[in-house]
Structure formats: C-alpha cells, structure tokens
Structure 1
Amino acid sequence: MKKIIHIDMDCFFAAVEMRDFPEYRDKPLAVGGASERRGVISTCNYEARRFGVRSAMATAYAMRLCPDLILVPGRMEVYKQVSQQIRAIFDRYSDLIEPLSLDEAYLDVSDCQLHQGSATLIAEAIRADILAETGLTASAGVAPVKFLAKVASDLNKPNGQYVITPAAVAGFVSGLSLGKIPGVGKVTQEKLKTLGLETCAQVQACSPAMLAQHFGKFGAVLWERAHGRDERGISPHRERKSVGVETTLAKDIHSEADCLQVMASLIPELNRRIGRSGSARRIHKLVVKLKFSDFRQTTIEQRADEPSVKLYQALLSQALTRAEGRGIRLVGIAVGLSASEACSERLTQLDLAL
C-alpha cells in the first residue's frame, strides 16, 4: 500500500508578503492586479476570505466585498525562491515528488525510513521544517492514493493535516461530496445533481455504463474515485501539456477586428515562450480562449501539426459566435503538446504577420 502526502502551502503568496512585511499581518490582504486594470486576485489571506474574497475573483469585486483590502502586485521571483527552498526540504524525505505548482506537491514516502516510516510523522516533520526554515505554514493530507491525499490536505487548513488510513478509506469516501473530487468542476457537479448524485455512495450504486453514457471517459474515473481508487503514481517529471499566452484587457472589446488586433499582439510572446520551452514534443492542437464580460469563458481547439495564423483566426471566429452580445475581457492563444510522441526538431514558431 502506498503512502502519499499532499503538501499545500497556506495562502502562499499572501503568506510570503505577511512574512516580509509584518505591517500586513492580521489585516485583509490580497495579491493581484489593480482593479482599474481589470485585474484578478491571485491569492488572499484568511482575513480577506472572511469577507468572501477568493482567488480568481475580479479585483474590483473583491474591493467591494472588502473596502479595506490591502492589494499588492506580487513578487514572483521571491515566490519562486521560497518554492525552491520548500522543494529542497521535500528532497530530504523522498525522490518521488510531483510538483503541482509553486505552493503544492505530492510526495510518495512509501520507502522513506525516517520517523519509523510513518507517513503521518513524516508529514508533520516536513511541515515543521518548512515553518522553521521559511517562516511559513503548510497543510498536509496523508492517504494511500493521490486524490484522497489532496482532498485531505484541505480539511484542516490552515497549518494542519488530516490522515486517511487504508482502513478508513471506504468510510471516508462513502460520505464524500462529489464536488470534493479533483476534476469535478461546477458544471460537472450540477450535471451530477440533476441525476440525483451528490455523494460517492450514490455513485457507487450506479453502473459504470450509466456514468460513461453521461460523462464519457470521465465516467470511469468518477466510478474509481467514488470507490476510493486512484491508480496514478507520482510523476516526478511532469510534461507540460501546452504553451500559451493570454491577456486581460483594460476595457471590453466587441468586434472581431479588435480581437484579431489583440491576438496579433500576443504572437511575439507566444513565440518567445515556444522558443524558451525547447520542447521536443510535437504540436497536436491549437487553442483559442476567450473570457466574456460576465467572466464566463470558452475555448475552441482544433488538431494541427504546427502553428497557423489562419487557423487561429478561424478558431477565434468560432469562439466569437458564443459571445451572444457579451464583451470580451480576455483573449488567449496556445499550442497543445503531444503527451508522448517525440521528434528531433524544436517547436515551429508562428509567422508574425497577421
């Protein structure tokens, strides 16, 4: 039986700011873009969350919820440096580490002999090391499978941990809300509710065929998760799935011509990121993303072997048919990368002409 730990830093960006600037402590604080520039909240501390402020929320709305909110622009280089410190701590306990972002990661400690081989004690030691060496708190989830470790790490936040032993898995998942399962977003959760499915126990009573009928391949994943199963191992070297760039606009735009102009401005940066990635995997699709004035978003993608300005234009036209009179507040373009097929050439870049 595997021993998986999911470590999740507590309000990471905001915590670094409070550590470095004590005057921010005990006050509602958020890291994000300015409201007058259509910014969004990257993260916020727990004082701000009491007012309803959340990550990915429009800064202007966050300021209405919490007029005394302190907003800072963020210092990504500092956050990266701290993340490297934390990663060095992980390395002491396991070679099997799967970073998910700067502030969270999975560790497989099945073969770790430290602390009598107890995953519970190892998680406690990691959190203590992080606090001692960075001044920041982390929460942890411990479980025999990945998705349950992630679910568990959120149960005793901040600065806590939750352990799901192998013997406790069945009882834990039976009462687990389906919305807690990674991959079940708001749309999927609403669809599940229309089918009378809100807990894992209810999914356990369904047939895999019925789930596949309504959710396709994800139906099989849902069935497995509802039974507490997750065969995925730790992937120390996660391949990036895409290279992309997007921009939030200062003012909504409405015409296709304006969107094309924004797209043209993104192409040099996309080329720069493609060149920097140095990926030896093939492009297998192109993607256009739009976010509308009501914050709903849509993506259009199509299989392709190389970047094509004309195809991006066609995808943009398709995406705009979904605007239904709404303004456009964000435009993004990306290339999707093959998961396995390798080639000897670097990724092809776009002709800058549009």
Structure 2
Amino acid sequence: MSGYNYEEDSPLANKSNIPEKSFLESLSDDGLLEYIAGLSQEQGEDHGEQYSRGDYFHDKQKRQEKQDREFRERYGNGSELFSGISIYVNGFTKPGRLQLHEMVVANGGKFVHFLSCKGRVSHIIASNLPLKKRVELASYKICRPEWIVDSIEEGKLLPWQDYALLSDQDEIQPKLPQTAIVSCKHPDFLKQFFSKSRLHHLSNWKSDLRAEFCERFLEKPLRIPGKSEVVTVFHIDFDCFFASVSAAANGFDIHAEPIVVCHGTKNSDIASCNYEARRYGIRNGMWVGTAVRMMPRGKKLVRLGYDFEQFELMSKRFYQILHDSQFELVLPISIDEAVCVTGYLTHSECELICRGIRENVSNVTNGCTVSIGCGGSLVLARLALKRSKPDGYQIVDCDGLDDVFWSHLKIEDLPGVGHSLACKISEYSYPPIGNLLELRQMAQDSLRRCVGEKMGNKIYLAVRGKDDEESCKMIYEPRQFFQRKSLSIDINWGIRFDTIYEIDEFIDRCTQYLIDKLRELDKKTSQLTLKIMKRSKDEAIEPPKYLGMGKCDPVARSTRLGVPTDEFGVIATEIKSTFRSLCCPPRELRGIAIQFNKLEKTASNQAKLPFVDAKIYQNLPSDVKSEIGRELNKRSINIRRTAPKRINSYQEQFIQELPTQIRGEVENEIHITNKVNKTKFDEIKEQVAKRQNEKVNAKSHFLGENTILLPIKFQNQTNFKKIIQLVMNWVDGTIRSQGPHEKDLRLFEKYLQRLSDTNRLPLVLRICKLISVKLELRSEFFSHCNGFQEWEKVLLQMILPKLNKNKHTFQTVRKLDIDFDT
C-alpha cells in the first residue's frame, strides 16, 4: 500500500539517529509564537465580552479541523481507508495519541479531540478502561489501537470486533449491568451489594447449614459419641469448589485449562482457581491482571463468572450424599467442606467409604472431585486431607504414623496456625524448624513460651495426633458448638461519604438489616462491635481498584448494652455515638462493619409492665386527671417519669424556634452528641473527681461517728478513740494479774479481723503500737507477772501476724515499704 506511513511521513517521526525532538522543539521562534497565538483562549478582539465557553470549544473545533485538512493535504496521498469514521482516543495507548491522530487523519478519517456529547464518534480507541467508564461507554464501539495499525498495514479496514476491548472478557464472564448501583448513598445499595457478594452467599450458606444441623438435632436427637469411645473421623473437602463447578457448568475441562472465577477483569480479585492455574503461580485473592501477566506466551487464562445457583445446587447434592452414607454425625464446616464421624472402622472399611463417596460426588456433580482425610482424631483427619489433595484420599492411624508422614507436612498445615505464627515458631529455635517432624522434637514448655500457653498446648497435642479440649467440642458437644453466637455485616467496597449525616443514614440501613435477621432468629443482643476502615495517611484517595478500600487502618470499639435488646432506636443510637467516638472524618471512611455479639434467646413469657409517662399525665385536663389516676391505680399501672434527653435550656429554646419538620432531627442529633461527650469527657471528669474525693476522705475513718465507712463495733462502741481508751484500760487492768480472759480475747480478735477485712489496717497498726508502748512502759515493774507475758503473747501471736498477712494492702495504699517484726 502506498498510503501514509508514520515512520516516513510523520513530522513527529524520528528519521535519523539524532535524539528525538518534540513537536514544539521542532518549531522556530516565529512558528512557536504563531502556534501559541492560534491556541490562545483569549478571543476578546473577535467576540468581545459575550464570548462564552461554548463559543470557545466551537472555535477550537474549527481550528483543529482546519489543521487536520492542512495535515492531510501535506502528508496524505488520497487514501480514504478511514473515510466516514470518527475516532476518539481515551487514556494511554501504544502507539500514542499524536501518532494515532496522524494515522487516522492521513487516511481520510476524522479525529475527535474531546468527547463533548454522545454520538459524535463512531469508535473509541483505548487500551484499558476503568469500571465506571465501561458502564458509561458500553454503547460505543471500543477497540484497541492495534485495529488502526493493522488496518493500515493490511490496506483494508479490518473488523473492529476482532479488536474489541470489552471482548477481552470471556463471553461467559458476566458484565456489570448499566443499571448497577455503585453509590453507597442509594437506599438499595445493600441489596445489590449482597446479591453480588461471594462472601455474603458463603456466610449465609454456612449459617443455614449449621442451623439445619441444630434443627435435625432437635427433631431427632443424634447419637453423640462419648469421650471414652474410639471414633473414626472423615474430613471431606471439594477440590477448588467454585472453579470446578463453574467449569463443569460451562463445558471446560478442569484438568486441562487454567481457570479462575472472578467478577471482572484487571483489578478484580480471584475467588477460586484450579490446580492447573496454580502451576503458574496463580493464587486465590490475586488480581486478575496480575494472573494474566503470569501466564506463558500462547496460554490463555479462562475467566468464569459466579454462578450462585449452581454452587448451591452442588452443595446440597454433596451434603445429601454424606447424609445417605450412614455417618453418626455430619458436621458442616462450609458449603464445600464437612467433617463426618462414626464409630471405630478398620482400614479396609474406611477405604470402601472413601471410594464410595468420591464416586457418588463425581457422578452427581458432573465430574467434580473431593479429597478425603481419615483418622482417629480431628487433627489427624485434617492433616491426612492435606496429604491427599488434590483428588485423592488418605487414611492414617495414630499408632501407625511414621516420620515420613510428619516430614512431608509444614507448620502452616496445622489447624489454627497461619503464616505469621508459623514463622514465629520456625524462627524460635536454631536451626529453623521446617516441618512437623522437627516440631515434634520441641519441648512443651518451649512451645508455651513461644506462642502462649493455650496455643502451645494445642500444637503440642496436634503433632502427636491428639485433639485439644476446644476442638473436641465439635464432636462431643456439637449442638453448643454450632449454635449461632454472633451476627454481623461487613461492607468494604463502594464506601464513599461526604457528611456525617450520610453515614448516619447508612448506619440506620445496616442496623435495620441486622435487626430483621436478629428477629428471624428470635434472639436479642447485649453487645455491639463497630469496626471501621480508615484510609491510611500515605494511601491515594482513590486506590487502583475501583471504589475499593486500598490501604487502610482498622479501628474497632465494642460497647455493652446492659440488657439484651432488639430495639432499633437503642442499637442505632449506640452505633452512631460509637462511630463519633472513633474520630474518623466522613471522607476518610473506606469500610464499615457492625457485629451483634452475645446473642440470647428472646424470653417469650416476659411481659413488659405497662406505665404512663408522667409528662403526659400532667398535661391531662384537671377535671379528668383524678379519675384517670384512680383507674390507673386500680389496674396497677404506674406513672413513671422517663429519663429526659440531656438538653440544656439554651438548646431547648433554640429547638422550640425551629420548624416542626426538622425539630425532631436536630433534637436526635443533640442527644447523640451528648451521649458521645458523656462516654468520653464526662467519664474522665468523673474519674478525676472520684480520685480527689478519695484523697479528701482518705482519713475519714478517724472521724468517729462522722465516718463515711460502715462502723465496726467493739463492746458496743463505734468511736475509735473510745475503743482505744477501752483497750488501754483493759491492758492496765489485767497486766498485773492473770491476763485477759479467753472469751474477751476472742471478741478482740474478731474486731481486729473485721478491721483487716475492710482494709482499715492503719487502725490495727495504731492498736499494736499503743499496746507495745504500754508493755514497754510497764516492763520494769510487771515483766515477771503472768498478765504481762499473756499480753506479749497477744501482741506477737495475734496482732503482728495480721499486720504481716495484709501488709501488701497497706503498702499499695500508703506507698510505704513496711515490715512488722517483733
């Protein structure tokens, strides 16, 4: 073809080995000034003061069309390859925008510099489009820049469909509908978010399976093995469940082609990938764009969409097979994983069951495979499952385990041990621990010091094929183990707010959704947890993933409600006040999660006591108030004053001046703000005031009858000064005789013990010192008397042991280092 060639004809092309110059650098001084004048936005001389923005773009378009005609006359050769085609370039492309401009214009096409309205262009050239523009430009013909280059090389206009950008998705990959709601401010955002959320479906399926197990337990009590019985545990798990089911539903060979399941392209997360894809380093959670770049040349990555109906159908078939296999217990772990328990079985019987289950699952799921681990405990079955994957089964026995079995397992293969914990254990000793065989050599005390007592005991038992007490509850207390203990909602995509009032509305919708679920379960909650994701300081405002979270700092706070409730107003107000206490600017919020903890069954026989608000009663007409009061007393209906909202007189006056339409909203906002202030600043003030009062009243117990503490009597006396005088007279009266009477001593000892129990140790110390001084003064004259020796015995064997026993309390309160010796 003798048409336009960029390398030969373009004024921007580099035709020699000299360094390339830009278009502006190639202009002379006069040419540059003329070019600037032509592009100038100041058109005052031609249009005067009425020159508008529309006039500017109109003139700009005319100038660009004139420049294109001059370019075609100078470099074109009459080619009409792109005649009747108008092209707009979006974003970065290769070749670049200027090169594509020259190619299109030189071959008879029209180049549009800005997309001012729909319908102006016939084709859009782009190498990549974000999700938002994919939705906006879905009706356009969008193709890659190679369409222009290849058409010029072939000398004919090639079909644009072969270069369509959106066809980069597989045909079975579902596209985001044009009516998709992507704004979290929309009332139907939650409904659509959950309809597309894989994790939401998984969570619902898991909770439904566990609820069904509890219902089966109630309808027909299942046989639960005793803790002394020998059991056989089967741990059964699908091999890459989502990828296998999607591949079977769409006619792909799961063993031959690399397959991933995801929502979209580029920045979409991979939910599941088959083992063929894992051979190339692809993993779950990876971005699709990263996975595509990891594929070798000539190998195509198959991307399949979510088919929730097929997932649910195959899961039901899977569990039906397990229920038909006559296991004593079928414990649901997730939609594609279960633990089955039965009595003691021989090795051959276990093999027969494993083969039967694998064959039946393959038949009813169109070729999907499961792996099975079998052992005498939960942990052995789990480790055997790790060894059997993919598409296999392994049967192990605690007595028949050898070093080969343990040496092929990594620390991360243990249940409950993640990557960070495995690294901590591995680096605890030298040389680093690499497998479970080496971990078996580690002492139990070393494990406890490394990861804590509870986890250390669990790992120590696990590497010996035994279950810890917490894990055993799944088998021996399954009903309590699978009961629902919490209810939550977690939104981590699409969260973009401008004001606190938009967040309040979103919290209201989330709370109402959770309360509806809570009432379906016939339960109430007594503890709330709010977790938010706040954009990190060094993170871009908009992350690479469209409306994703990006890098965030998690912040969480829990609050107790005193009594279980399912009241919307109580819960929503508490969550809003908690959010305000976290001090997160609305524009920085990227994710929000609300969790209801400590769920309790609703008491059906608990009736609320009726009452009438005192404010309503006082507003009744005076002529009927007394009659209504008698009727209320007859029916045992109380007149109760409700707790007023903390609004001062100035705020109340301000509210009364507001229009009635917004009065309630403002009053509610003031109530929430006051609640936040009370939970933070007022609590600190109360604690400071309490400490100050403690300092003031530190010696109040010396004030006799004015003491703030409960009085302790001795011989019917509560005044400590009078009690001291009574004890001193008692010592003086008995020191020269046979000493104090045994019954009197028992009463005195009880008095001292009560002083010690109520942390009034300084009083005991004062009594001790006074008796000691009294004996020292009388020792010269009465040391030979029995009474003197008896009082010394009281001092040494009764009073001093009480002081030494409770000296830590005295040291803590008085900040003194005291030891009471003889």
| TM-score, reference length from structure 2 | 0.36
- Partner of residue 288 from structure 1, selected from 528, 531, 537: 531
Structure 2: how far apart are the matches of 1:315 and 1:68? 49
What is the aligned partner in structure 1 of residue 362 from structure 2?
A: 131
- Partner of residue 259 from structure 2, selected from 23, 29, 33: 29
Q: The residue matched to 1:52 in structure 2 has which SS?
A: coil
Q: The residue matched to 1:184 in structure 2 has which SS?
A: coil
What is the aligned partner in structure 2 of residue 344 from structure 1?
A: 603
Structure 1: how far apart are the matches of 2:574 and 2:270? 32
Query: Is residue 2:463 matched to residue 1:226?
Result: yes
Structure 2: how far apart are the matches of 1:44 and 1:88? 25
| AA of the residue aligned to 1:288 | K
- Contact map agreement 1:3 1:145 (CA 8 A) in 2: yes
Query: Is residue 2:459 matched to residue 1:195?
Result: no
What is the aligned partner in structure 2 of residue 267 from structure 1?
A: 511
Q: CA deviation at 1:249?
A: 1.9
Distance 1:267 1:193, change over 3 A: same
Query: Is residue 2:594 matched to residue 1:333?
Result: yes
Q: CA RMSD in A?
A: 3.9
| AA of the residue aligned to 1:205 | M
Q: Name the structure, 1 or 2, with higher relative contact order (CA <8 Å, separation 6+).
A: 1
Q: CA deviation at 1:167?
A: 1.6
> Could you give the per-residue CA deviations for residues 139-196 of structure 1, whole angstroms, max 9, x where no partner exists?
1001111122122212232210122122234644477432111111122222223322
Structure 2: how far apart are the matches of 1:220 and 1:22? 48
What is the aligned partner in structure 2 of residue 348 from structure 1?
A: none
What is the aligned partner in structure 1 of residue 612 from structure 2?
A: none
What is the aligned partner in structure 2 of residue 110 from structure 1?
A: 343
What is the aligned partner in structure 1 of residue 384 from structure 2?
A: 152
What is the aligned partner in structure 2 of residue 248 from structure 1?
A: 492
- Contact map agreement 2:371 2:390 (CA 8 A) in 1: yes
Q: CA deviation at 1:12?
A: 1.0
Considering fraction of residues, name the structure with more strand. Answer: 1
- Residue correspondence of structure 1 range 138-217 to structure 2 within 5 A: 138-169=370-401, 171=403, 172-173=405-406, 176-196=409-429, 198=433, 199-200=435-436, 201-202=438-439, 205-208=442-445, 211=448, 214-217=451-454
Q: The residue matched to 2:303 in structure 1 has which SS?
A: strand
What is the aligned partner in structure 2 of residue 88 from structure 1?
A: 320
What is the aligned partner in structure 1 of residue 333 from structure 2?
A: 100
Q: CA deviation at 1:119?
A: 1.9
> Could you give the per-residue CA deviations for residues 7-63 of structure 1, whole angstroms, max 9, x where no partner exists?
111111111111121146533222233247x64222122222223222233444444
Considering fraction of residues, name the structure with more helix. Answer: 2
- Partner of residue 75 from structure 1, selected from 307, 314, 329: 307
Q: CA deviation at 1:246?
A: 1.9
- Percent identity over the alignment is 21
Distance 1:17 1:303, change over 3 A: same
Structure 2: how far apart are the matches of 1:46 and 1:329? 34
Structure 2: how far apart are the matches of 1:205 and 1:130? 41
Structure 2: how far apart are the matches of 1:273 and 1:22? 38
Structure 2: how far apart are the matches of 1:295 and 1:53? 22
Structure 2: how far apart are the matches of 1:165 and 1:274? 44
Distance 1:116 1:343, change over 3 A: same
- Contact map agreement 2:398 2:465 (CA 8 A) in 1: no
Structure 1: how far apart are the matches of 2:269 and 2:338? 24
Q: CA deviation at 1:123?
A: 1.5
Structure 2: how far apart are the matches of 1:249 and 1:137? 33
Aligned length: 338
Distance 1:104 1:288, change over 3 A: same
- Contact map agreement 1:39 1:248 (CA 8 A) in 2: no
> Could you give the per-residue CA deviations for residues 298-324 of structure 1, whole angstroms, max 9, x where no partner exists?
463525345844554566578788xxx
What is the aligned partner in structure 2 of residue 300 from structure 1?
A: 556
Distance 1:254 1:191, change over 3 A: farther
Larger deviation: 44-53 or 120-129? Answer: 44-53
| AA of the residue aligned to 1:274 | L
Structure 1: how far apart are the matches of 2:375 and 2:508? 47
Structure 2: how far apart are the matches of 1:79 and 1:96? 23
Q: The residue matched to 2:492 in structure 1 has which SS?
A: strand
- Contact map agreement 2:534 2:554 (CA 8 A) in 1: yes
Q: The residue matched to 2:234 in structure 1 has which SS?
A: strand
Q: The residue matched to 1:168 in structure 2 has which SS?
A: coil
- Contact map agreement 1:242 1:334 (CA 8 A) in 2: yes
Structure 2: how far apart are the matches of 1:291 and 1:261? 19
